[in-house]
Chain A
C-alpha cells in the first residue's frame, strides 16, 4: 500500500529533478555559469527573509489564479480567462478607492476586495452565458475577454485617474486607507496572503464537502450521467466559471491593495500562463496546487534576479514551468502505457 502511494508521486518527483537539471542545462546553453545561476535563483527567492517575502507576494496571485482555473476545471471547463478576470478585479479595486475615497479601512477594505471579486465574476458572466445558452467553447471566449480586458485597463489607466507623473498607462495611488496592512515585517507577510489561504480553505470546503461541490465534480467526470442523475450539467459548468473568476478578481484586488497600489497596464505579467501549470499538474489536490504555486513563485522571483544580475532572459521561467508540466504529462502517459 505504502509502495503504491509512493508510486503516485514518482512522476512528479522525476519531473521535478528533470526541471532542476534543465535549468542548469539551459543556462549552460546560453553560455552562463549554471552553478552561479542556481545560487542566484535560490538565494534571491529563499535566501533571506526579504527575498522570501518577495516570493510570498508573488505566490498570492499565482495561487489564487490557479484556483480560479481549477474550480471550473473540476467541472471540465477551461477558464483560460483568469488573466482578464484578474485585471477586472484590479479595476474594481481602484474604482472603489477613487469613487469612495473617505471610507474607514474596516468598511473600505472588505468593500474593495468584494468589488474585485464581483468585477472578476461579472467579466466571466459573458463566456459563462455564451457557454450555457449557445454552447460556445469557453477557451476561445474567455481568451477573447482577456484581450478586451487589456484594452479596458489601458482605457482606465490613461483616463481621469491617470497618474500624470508617470509616462506609462498607470493610475494614481489608491488612498492610504485602502492599503492592505502588513502583519509580519520579516519576512513580510501581508493580509493578502492570509486572505488567499483562507480563500483556498473555502474552495476546499466548497468542492469537497458540499452538495454543490459534489455536483461540480460529478459534471466534470461524467456530464451525461450527471444529467441522468438530475444535475443540471450545463448550469453547473457555466456557474463554475463565474465562481472561479471571483478568485481571479480577488487576486487582482489584492495585487492592487497589497503590492502595486495602482492599476497598471501589463500588471498581469505572465500570471495567466504560469497559473495554469499548478492547476494542470495537480487538478485533484489543492495542497498540491499550493506547493507547485509556491515552487513557481520561487522560480518566478528567482528568474527576475537572474535577468537583473546575469542577463538571463526572464522567459527562462516560462520555459522551466512548461518543461515541468510536459515532463509530468510524459511520465503520466508513459506509466499509463506500462500499467
Chain B
C-alpha cells in the first residue's frame, strides 16, 4: 500500500510539470493583460516540433526542448501581432491560432514521418537522484528522484513570483495588465511588455507540450495533449493568476489526472470511461469556487489602444 501511495504521488509530481509550465506561461501573458486560450493547440504543435527535432537528431532532448519552446514562442508572436498591434479580439485570435496549431502539429509529423504501424520513439527523461535526500524514506522517492524538468518547473514558478511580486520591474509589468492607460502615462511601454510576456509565456506553454512526449509517451500521437491544455487554463484560474498558487494548483490537477489512471489499476468498481471524466468534472466543480472570489487582472482580455477615447 505504501508503495502504491509513493508511486501515485511521485507520478503526480512528474505529471504536474505539464500543468505548471503551461499555467505559468498563461499567467505571464495574463499578468500583462493578454488572455491565452490556445494552450491545447500550441502544446500539440510544440510537441510535434520538439519530437521531430529530437528524433531527427537521434534523441537529442535538449534540442527538442529548444525547438518546442521556439515553436510556442512563435505562436506568442503571432498572437501579439494580431491582438496587441492589430487590436483583434483576443479570444478570436486565440481560437484561430488554436486551429492553426492543431493542424500544423499533425501535418508536420505526418509530412516528415508519414504513416507507420508502430510510431518511432525517442528516449524519455530519467529521474535524477539528488545525493543524500533522495534516500529519505517516503519523501525521497516522491520528491527528490524526479526528472530535471520537475525541478526546473518549480524554479521557474518561484522566479516568476519573485520577478512579478518582489521587484519594481514586476510591478510595472503587472500594471500593463491591470490598467494599461495608467501604465502608459507612467512611461511603461505597454505594447512591448505585452509582446515580451506573450512570447515567453507561450514558450513556456511550448515547453509544457514538449514535456508530454519526452516524459510520458516517448512518441508522438494525434491525441497527445488530450485536454491537458484546456485543463491548464483551469489551473491558472484556480491559482488566481498568482505564480505560487498556480504551481500548487498544477499539483492538484495532476493529482486528478493520475487518479483517473490509477483508479483502474486499483480496481475501483467504476467504468474506466467515467474515471477518465474525473479531471474534467473536477475542473467544472473547481471553477465554481474559483469565480466566487476571483481576482483577475483588471485589464485581462482587453486590447489597449492609446488613441481610443473609451477604455
Contact = CB atoms under 8 A, between A and B. Distances in A.
A323 B100 contact: yes
Given A30-B111, A319-B100, A141 B287 contact: yes
B98 A273 contact: yes
Interface residues of A, number: 46
A313 interface: yes
Given A319-B103, A319-B104, A322-B100, A151 B288 contact: no
Contacts of A316: 103, 107
B110 interface: yes
A277 B92 CA distance: 10
Contacts of A200: none
A151 B277 contact: yes
B142 to A, nearest CB: 28
Interface in A127-171: 130, 134-137, 139-141, 143-145, 147-148, 151-152, 154-155, 158
A313 B107 contact: yes
A35 interface: no
A291 interface: no
Contact of A139 (B78, B91, B99, B281): B91
A277 B99 CA distance: 9
Contact of A140 (B104, B111, B230, B273): B230
A336 B86 contact: yes
Contact of A313 (B85, B111, B227, B287): B111
Given A155-B273, A313-B106, A326-B100, A276 B291 contact: no
Contacts of B276: 151
A226 to B, nearest CB: 17
B227 A333 contact: no
Interface string B284-311: 1001101110100000000000000000
B85 A322 contact: no
B86 A147 contact: no
Nearest to A319: B103
A155 B99 contact: no
Given A136-B287, A318-B102, A148 B95 contact: no
B17 interface: no
A144 B288 CA distance: 13
Contacts of B288: 130, 134, 136
Chain A residues touching B, majority SS: helix
Given A30-B111, A144-B283, A147-B277, A315 B103 contact: yes
A98 interface: no
A329 B107 contact: no
Contact of A336 (B87, B97, B100, B283): B87
Given A137-B237, A326-B82, A273 B93 contact: no
Contact of A329 (B93, B98, B277): B93
Nearest to A334: B86
Contacts of A336: 86-87
A315 B102 CA distance: 8
A215 interface: no
A158 B230 CA distance: 26
Interface in A298-339: 311, 313, 315-319, 321-323, 325-326, 329-330, 332-334, 336-337
Interface string B111-135: 1001000000000000000000000
A323 B165 CA distance: 39
Interface string A256-283: 0000000000000000011011001000
Interface residues of B, number: 45
A236 interface: no
A75 interface: no
A151 B284 CA distance: 16
B3 interface: no
Nearest to A266: B223
Nearest to B234: A140
B107 A315 contact: yes
A317 B99 CA distance: 10
A159 to B, nearest CB: 9
Contacts of B294: 135
Contact of B284 (A30, A126, A154): A126
B221 to A, nearest CB: 13
Interface in B25-46: 37
Contact of B86 (A126, A317, A321, A337): A337
A330 to B, nearest CB: 7
B167 interface: no
B100 A147 contact: no
A280 B95 contact: yes
Given A144-B280, A147-B227, A313-B110, A330 B86 contact: yes
Nearest to B296: A137
B271 A155 contact: yes
A23 to B, nearest CB: 12
Given A144-B230, A144-B281, 7 more contacts: A78-B91, A78-B95, A134-B291, A280-B92, A311-B114, A329-B82, A329-B86
State the 10 A-B residue pairs at the shortest beta-carbon distance, nearest first: A333-B86, A318-B103, A322-B100, A313-B110, A319-B103, A155-B273, A322-B99, A315-B107, A144-B280, A315-B106
27 contacts: A130-B287, A134-B292, A136-B288, A137-B237, A139-B91, A140-B233, A140-B234, A140-B287, A141-B283, A144-B281, A148-B280, A151-B276, A154-B273, A313-B106, A315-B103, A315-B106, A318-B103, A322-B97, A326-B97, A333-B82, A333-B85, A333-B86, A333-B87, A333-B88, A334-B86, A336-B86, A336-B87
Interface of A: 30, 78, 80, 126, 130, 134-137, 139-141, 143-145, 147-148, 151-152, 154-155, 158, 273-274, 276-277, 280, 311, 313, 315-319, 321-323, 325-326, 329-330, 332-334, 336-337
